[in-house]
Amino acid sequence: MCGIFACHGHPDVQKFKPTALKLAKQVRHRGPDWSGNITCNQTILCHERLSIVGVESGAQPLTNADDSIILAVNGEIYNHRMIRKHLKNTYHFKTHSDCEVIIPLYQEHDLNAPQHLDGMFSFVLYDKKQDRTIAARDPIGITTFYQGWSWKEPGAVYFASELKCLYPVCDKIIAFPPGHVYDSKTGETTRYFQPSWWDPKNVPTQPVDLKVLRHALEKSVRKRLMAEVPYGVLLSGGLDSSLVAAIAQRETLRLQKAAQDAATYTENKDADRGEGLVGIDDDGDLSTQTYMPQLNSFSIGLPGSPDNEAALKVAKFLGTRHHVMTFTIEDGLNALSDVIYHLESYDVTTIRASTPMYLLSRKIKAMGIKMVLSGEGSDEAFGGYLYFHNAPDRESFHEETVRRVKNLHYADCLRANKSTSAWGLEARVPFLDKEFLETAMGFDPKDKMITKDRIEKYIIRKAFDTSDEPGAEPYLPDEILWRQKEQFSDGVGYGWIDGLKDNAELHVTDEMMKNPKAEWGTDIPETKEAYWYRLMFDEHFPPRCASTVQRWTPTWSKQTDPSGRAIAVHDKKYDNAC
């Protein structure tokens, strides 16, 4: 991930520039490799870079041949080579950056440019000739992005990757809506992402095709191996991360063999360090690929945690080079304030799950890894949370999956993006590929529903079950492929959540619960743990930032604790938890 800050329409942009650079510096953790900025007319674009593709030549902001278009991007464009190949007009590319294709796309398609991008992105583009700024965010909101305004400069509009860049100068801030594009010429923000599943009332009737589903996820993972730096996989030992790891390992081994067969790989010191490149295909199926001797996988948990134990089984089965990190409850508690600062949220579920991910990301980055694959999004698309056992009918089931996917930018996308970006690490999420989502969300929800004979996420499990395919190698051990859903904050060790609750009791009294802060309005924490997180949030951010936070709660359930093990169908109880 990278970090961007931009302002359009500032009345004295030269005077504002020193402030803009200080604000951009607030997200340097996202992009520690280089900093850049360009000022033009009443607009300034600042960029903090994490180099993954086009490492040597992709410094930003990017410009076209006559410098009339300026672009700052946070993201990865997986179909950039295909776009370059099929542009209608000749364009002189200055870099090998995957993001530079946004400029010629804008020249050819104007506000429709984001529709042609396949990837995760937030960008701000300034057109000098029109004195026009457009900004856009990827369809699901995998990259974090915010927009703000100030009464002091009523004609100005601000954009940034994180809240901490905006609240010092803006009195109104919103989370920029995913799948939308903003145009300064009209001041309007319009939705460009219009998939078939967007309206939850249009319930699909197409029966599931398991082969199509499997191939769609395999293709999504392959896209995300586009890198010129060492990469790895986050492996919790649950279904989703294990499937991603299994596909990534198969693809890594296939690429190694292809490279050897084609005599494009030589055993030299650079390759041993993971720097040998394999260029394959110009049509987007595979792109620039870093060869690594072994795929690195990573897991974290308390000593004896369910996730670490399961992850070790998966890693041994797949043959990945696995790294286990253990943390103590005290380690997590000590990091809480920093985690909330980076998350810019006080949502209970997000904070619980983000803390171990934040700790693990620091270890991963210290090893020289700059990109990891992760399993977010599967539970939303397939109804994998345990509360989906209570879905009353297929229509309600589908409506809830649509709602969850639409709100991912407030929850798991935010967690995956900010927990890793805090240490200059990039997380890529294959389950949220827009092509894969079109497939996954297009099947009859009746096939996804949980029954006596079907565990949660049955169809994605069955799609990768090769037991009835003669001679086929299994993707995963059966005990992993059919493992019950375990939320990440539970799987790292049940003592983690219990420790958080116990410490909340020490910081929040019954009297405080009865008298919440007046500035919280109707957004009142229901538990002492939630109250404690809100207090820490307020230490970092003013009340106006709370409008960008949404709290995660399960549907069809009266529980106040969002933990999966608080659902009745969970097969482990508090009294026998580790």
Scanning 145-238, the segments in alpha helix (DSSP H) are 210-223
Name the pairing type of β-strands 153-160 and 3-8.
Answer: antiparallel
The structure tokens listed for 50 are 């994490």
Asked whether 288 and 216 are in contact (CB, 8 A), the reply is no
Q: Is 173 annotated as a binding residue?
A: no
**Side chain identity at residue 286, one-letter code:** L
Of 555, 544, 539, residue with least CA distance to 520: 544
The structure tokens listed for 135 are 């900004």
Of 252, 292, 220, residue with least CA distance to 440: 220
Measured in residues, the chain has a length of 578
Scanning 273-393, the segments in alpha helix (DSSP H) are 306-318, 329-343, 348-366, 378-382
The structure tokens listed for 277 are 């490149």
As a whole number of Å, the CA-based R_g of the chain is 23
Beta strands in 109-220 (DSSP E): 119-127, 132-137, 146-150, 153-160, 172-175, 180-183, 188-191
Asked whether 83 and 61 are in contact (CB, 8 A), the reply is no
Beta bridge partners of 154: none
| Residues annotated as catalytic (active site), given as ranges | 2
The structure tokens listed for 385 are 């949370």
Q: Is 213 annotated as a binding residue?
A: no
Q: Is 300 annotated as a binding residue?
A: yes
Distance CA 97, CA 89 (A): 19
Distance CA 140, CA 137 (A): 8
End-to-end CA distance of the chain: give it in Å, rounded.
35
Q: Is 234 annotated as a binding residue?
A: yes
Of 318, 323, 324, residue with least CA distance to 253: 318
Any idea what DSSP says for residue 454? B
Asked whether 556 and 536 are in contact (CB, 8 A), the reply is no
DSSP 459-521: HHHHHT--TTSTTPPPSS-HHHHTPPP--HHHHT-HHHHHHHHHHHHHH--HHHHHS--GGGT
Asked whether 204 and 444 are in contact (CB, 8 A), the reply is yes
Distance CA 472, CA 369 (A): 32
Beta bridge partners of 35: 48
Distance CA 138, CA 122 (A): 6
The continuous run of DSSP H or E covering 197 comes out as: none
Asked whether 220 and 430 are in contact (CB, 8 A), the reply is yes
Distance CA 148, CA 173 (A): 4
Name the pairing type of β-strands 172-175 and 289-291.
Answer: unpaired
Q: Is 375 annotated as a binding residue?
A: yes
- Residue 22, SS3 per DSSP: helix
Q: Give residues with Cβ within 8 angstroms of 56, minimum separation 6.
A: 96
User: What residues form the annotated binding site for ATP?
Assistant: 234, 300, 374-375
User: What residues form the annotated binding site?
Assistant: 98, 234, 300, 374-375
User: What residues form the annotated binding site for L-glutamine?
Assistant: 98
